[in-house]
Chain A
Amino acid sequence: MLVHSIFFYFFSIIAIFSSLMVITSRSTINSVFFLILDFISVGCLFIMVGAEFLGMILLIVYVGAVAVLFLFVVMMLNVAEQKQSWFIGKKSTHIPTGLIVSVLILLELLVVVGGWKYKENVMSSSTLLLSKTSNTHQLGLVMYTDYILYFQLAGIVLLLAMIGAILLTFRERVGVKKQSYINQISRDPSNAVELFDVKSNKGVKIDD
């Protein structure tokens, strides 16, 4: 149990420290790296409470895909140094908005966690621990039966977001030469090669 709590404090201190660094560090690239560290340590915390599926999915989705895209954007935009900061220089205009959002999230968390503390049988992990199946099976059993509607709705929302992003960035370009694989493969000497008798000083017109 002692070892368990040592590991718990280790990962949670890293998580809190790196999330603080995400918002305070001057260099945007460093912020993204600390965000990745934060994701990884939260994933480790998930694994420690026995939710190994959620931990791994967090690693695959957030660290393996989302954070890569963050890094991509930050590197391409070349915003190496953040001009606005908390204490030094010009006062930021984004900070009040950010504060409002984070206070709202804190209040929501307080409501939810307070609910658990007030009525203990609202959420109990005993159902997870008593049965022999792994939590991957448990999640699958619930997600594809009782909550199938919400699951599908979440999928549709994501699909719509993807279509919207493509629509915003799509532009039709004219005059672009494209490779057509079918045309390439279906060429044969009889229609690709043409023989001419070239008269002197007349020449031949090719490729109009």
Chain B
Amino acid sequence: MIEYLQILGQEVYKVIFLLVPILVSVAMIVWLDRRVWGLVQKRKGPNVVGPFGLFQTLADALKYIFKEIIIPASANKVVFILAPIVTMTLALVAWAVIPMSENLVLADINVGILYLFAVSSLGVYGIIMGGWASNSKYPFLGAIRSAAQMVSYEVSIGIIIINVLLCVGSLNLNDIVLAQRELWYVIPLFPMFVIFFISALAETNRPPFDLPEAEAELVAGYQTEYSGMMYAMFWLGEYANILLMCAMGSILFLGGWLPIMDVYPLNIIPAPFWMIIKILFLFLLFALIKAIVPRYRYDQLMRLGWKIFLPFSLIYLVMTASFLFYFDKLPKVSI
């Protein structure tokens, strides 16, 4: 029993060392997002609090903590309070399997990519629960839109993951990274990378697919009735999810923690550094797209998901499979 408690203590210690950097980096990434947005529109963005405005998010968080939490009288209180908690927990729980280097991973499980996919598909519950429990028109419409959107784009993300898995032959995230030693999958599977990126935008409700919170039609979507820390938790969960999608993209296509080339000055740089660079690169693309592209209409969004991405990724899956089969490049499994 004592031994078990010791192991548990070590795990808690590891979990804290994983969660604190993620929360800090979420705060920094919000700042980066707003900065990039400002630069594109020829503004300065947040630049007052701290050096370059770096502490802006912390100031915002403090403001949220001290604000009053208002629960609408007609809301279903339990579900209303549960919704932001679910969103944030699911966004943080998924980070347990993300490898930052070969050994630096909290849980190196066999079905890592399935775990990531499962947790990201559960993310829709926070939104539905929040929208329904608010008992108000705009949140409910926003929640319904968002649920339909997330379920539709999950399908194409699933098929893209199968494409990568065919080339790797394992569901373990470290194996997926190691299989890209010679060639990152972004080169042979480039169309899949593009589709993955766009589906990730839709999955995390980012512009141009931010229909659930389209302010011109739905006030603030499912977050309309939320205030104070509960709103901040939704917002933290959303950005943690965006970072998670970036991490997933860099593991599946950009070689995870591998250096760009395995040559002398590059391969002495520690592995987590490369992972962070790749996540940041993908996040910059997310931020740029938020600033550049106008919002899609709802039927256009559904058409893109079901009529273009789904058939195209299925055809690409068949092509990948036949290529691997005829050139005898299918991954060998030792039995």
User: Interface on A for B, CB 8 Å cutoff?
Assistant: 2-3, 29, 33, 36, 52-53, 56-57, 59-60, 63-65, 68, 71-72, 75-76, 131-134, 136-137, 141, 179
Contacts and interface: CB of A to CB of B under 8 A. Distances in A.
Those 10 A-B pairs whose CB atoms lie nearest each other, nearest first: A64-B121, A56-B114, A59-B118, A60-B118, A134-B110, A52-B111, A56-B111, A75-B132, A56-B118, A3-B4
Contact of B147 (A56, A60, A72, A179): A72
B171 A72 contact: no
Contacts, number: 72
- Interface centre among B79, B111, B299, B335, by most chain A C-beta atoms within 10 angstroms, is B111
Given A2-B1, A3-B4, A56-B114, A64 B122 contact: yes
B128 interface: yes
- Interface centre among B76, B79, B121, by most chain A C-beta atoms within 10 angstroms, is B121
B144 A72 contact: yes
A16 B108 CA distance: 30
Given A75-B140, A136-B111, 19 more contacts: A2-B4, A29-B132, A33-B79, A59-B118, A63-B122, A64-B121, A64-B122, A64-B154, A65-B154, A68-B147, A71-B132, A72-B144, A72-B147, A75-B128, A75-B132, A75-B144, A133-B335, A134-B110, A179-B299
Contacts of A56: 111, 114-115, 117-118
23 contacts: A2-B4, A36-B125, A53-B111, A56-B111, A56-B118, A60-B118, A64-B118, A64-B121, A65-B121, A68-B128, A68-B151, A72-B144, A75-B140, A75-B144, A132-B334, A132-B335, A133-B333, A134-B171, A136-B110, A136-B111, A137-B335, A179-B299, A179-B300
B229 interface: no
A59 B128 contact: no
Interface residues of B, number: 28
B22 interface: no
B36 interface: no
Given A59-B118, A63-B122, A64-B122, A71 B110 contact: no
Nearest to B117: A60
B109 interface: yes
Contacts of B128: 68, 71-72, 75
A134 B300 CA distance: 42
Interface string B87-110: 000000000000000000000011
B124 interface: yes
A36 B121 CA distance: 13
Contacts of A3: 4
Contact of B109 (A52, A131, A133, A141): A52
Contacts of B144: 72, 75-76
A57 B114 contact: yes
- Interface centre among B79, B125, B300, by most chain A C-beta atoms within 10 angstroms, is B125
B151 A65 contact: yes
Contacts of B111: 52-53, 56, 134, 136
A68 B335 contact: no
A60 B162 CA distance: 14
A146 to B, nearest CB: 15
B121 A136 contact: no
Contacts of B124: 64, 68
A141 B333 CA distance: 11
Contacts of B335: 131-133, 137, 141
A56 B97 CA distance: 14
A39 B156 CA distance: 24
Interface in B203-261: none
Contacts of B118: 56, 59-60, 63-64
A132 B333 CA distance: 11
A56 B114 CA distance: 6
B274 to A, nearest CB: 28
A142 to B, nearest CB: 12
Contacts of A71: 125, 128, 132, 147
B332 to A, nearest CB: 12
A62 B147 CA distance: 15
Given A60-B121, A136-B171, A52 B334 contact: no
Interface string B111-149: 100110110011011001000100000001000100100
Contacts of B334: 132-133
Nearest to A69: B151
A179 B302 CA distance: 13
- Interface centre among A68, A134, A179, by most chain B C-beta atoms within 10 angstroms, is A68
A166 to B, nearest CB: 12
A76 B144 CA distance: 9
Contacts of A57: 114
Interface in B258-311: 299-300
Given A3-B4, A133-B333, A137-B333, A52 B110 contact: yes
